A = this chain, B = another copy of it.
Amino acid sequence: MHVIIERNRMVHDVQHVAKAVSSRTTIPILTGIKLVADANGLTLTGSDSDLSIESFIPKEENEREIVQIEQAGSIVLQSKYFAEIVKKLPGETIEIQVHDQFAATIRSGSSVFTLNGLDPEEYPRLPQLKEDLIFSLPQDMLRNIIRQTVFAVSTQETRPVLTGVNIETENGELICTATDSHRLAMRKTKIDSQDEGLEFKNVVIPGKSLQELSKILEDTSDLAEIVVTENQILFKLGNLLFFSRLLEGKYPVTSGMIPTQFKTSFVVKTKELVHTLERAMLLSREAKNNVINVKTLGDNQIEITSTSQEIGKVTEKMATDQFEGDEIRISFNGKNILDALKVVDSDEVQIFLTGAMSPFVIRPIDSDHYLHLFSPVRTY
């Protein structure tokens, strides 16, 4: 293999595929990035076997030469060093030449690196997916859906299926749900599909995969094509393919958990509530339970308090709007509410309560396509 490639493009694409490489893998070949040069261009692949990312750099793009292929071939280079080296190389272009014994010389400007590599024949093949279930979403919308759900997945391995985001279709809509059993985030969106009758359920994507994917997604309305199979999902983003294993197991049916009737509801300013909770958390955080108490005051105000025996107490009043229903007191985990409010783009949120011991709902006021559900905390 012998190629000469634009440095900036190489840095960009190596950073993407390196996201799939784990330094803690037990399979030595997977600590590397596979480079394959053929007549069409250069393909980079990184994988930790759960997650695989493949990026293709074509010879030419918009009539500009990006890669010059002097000789086809392939090699696997240690991701940790290779990614750092390309980032720091001084020249405009990078020349990579593979020798016997799986060693590569990398030249750029005044720099010459010789890196020991690994046998590309040992690198595992990427899955070949049957493209039966396909739909597409704009990249920026997909990124937003991930942002608004993935924070709510469970971080505990006791119920592995809860460490993922569940996606399913219902009446031509895509429903994305994440829950750790104390809080739940749910986001709906219309989807475009060539197939009118697109239908699937219990497709659970690991939260970790979605976090990596969201770093690669761009702020563009270009479509991402999504292929769903029984145990894999593939996101096609132009020249980049992002494969993730799906989580096994049955995702809980969450639709019945969301209350539809409420005893009390009111509207508050999102930022004001964030700041008030952040102050209240200064004291409750220490106790590690993050318990915040809210009490309605009967004059369109709520009082937010938090107490730590050792440190002290904080009390704050907040104005509400559109107050309806009964007076109520409730306690909850302030951190969970803050996490949710931070992904709300709306200036105001509406809070729906059904009782001190029942789950409650927060929705952005200007949209019904997503909601957050929380369990209260028992304080006696």
CB–CB B282/A85 < 8 A? yes
Additional pairs, 14, CB under 8 Å, beyond known A113-B283, A113-B312: A81-B282, A81-B311, A81-B312, A88-B275, A88-B282, A89-B279, A110-B276, A110-B318, A111-B279, A111-B316, A112-B315, A113-B313, A114-B312, A114-B314
Residue A134 at the chain B interface, CB threshold 8 Å: no
Residue A103 at the chain B interface, CB threshold 8 Å: yes
Could you tell me if B316 and A116 are in contact, using CB atoms closer than 8 angstroms? Answer: no
Residue of B nearest to A314 (CB): B113
| A350 → B minimal CB distance (Å) | 21
What B residues does A317 contact at CB under 8 A?
Answer: 110
- 20 sampled A-B residue pairs with Cβ under 8 A: A78-B311, A81-B311, A81-B312, A85-B279, A88-B279, A88-B282, A103-B312, A110-B276, A110-B316, A110-B317, A111-B276, A111-B314, A111-B316, A112-B314, A113-B279, A113-B312, A113-B314, A114-B312, A114-B313, A115-B312
A311 touches which one: B88, B116, B275 (CB < 8 A)?
B116
A313 to B111, CA, bound (A): 11
A324 within 8 A of B: no
Q: How far is the CB of A230 from chain B (nearest CB, A)?
A: 40
Cα(A317)–Cα(B84), bound, Å: 20
Q: How far, in angstroms, from A90 to B278 measured CA to CA in the complex?
A: 11
CA of A282 to CA of B315, assembled, Å: 53
What are the residues of chain B within 8 A of A116 when measuring CB–CB? 310-312
Q: Which residues A274-332 have CB closer than 8 A to chain B?
A: 275-276, 278-279, 282-283, 310-318
Interface size grouping (class) on chain A: 20 to 34
Q: Which of A136-192 contact B (CB under 8 A)?
A: none
Chain B residues with Cβ under 8 A from A85's Cβ?
A: 279, 282
Please give, as numbers and ranges, the residues of chain B lying within 8 Å of A318 by CB-CB distance.
110
Q: Which 3 A-B pairs have the closest CB atoms?
A: A115-B312, A114-B313, A112-B315
A283→B81 CA distance, assembly (Å): 8
Chain B min CB distance to A57 (Å)? 23
The answer to whether residues A90 and B275 also contact, given A81-B282, A282-B85 and a CB cut-off of 8 A, is yes
A276 CB, nearest partner CB in chain B, Å: 8
**Set of chain B residues within 8 Å of A310, measured between Cβ atoms:** 116
| Chain B residues in 8 Å Cβ range of A88 | 275, 278-279, 282
List the B side residues contacting A89 at CB < 8 Å.
279
Q: Are A311 and B110 in contact (CB under 8 A)?
A: no
Q: Known A90-B275, A318-B110; judge A84-B282 contact (CB<8 A).
A: yes
- In chain B, what residue has the closest Cβ to A113? B314
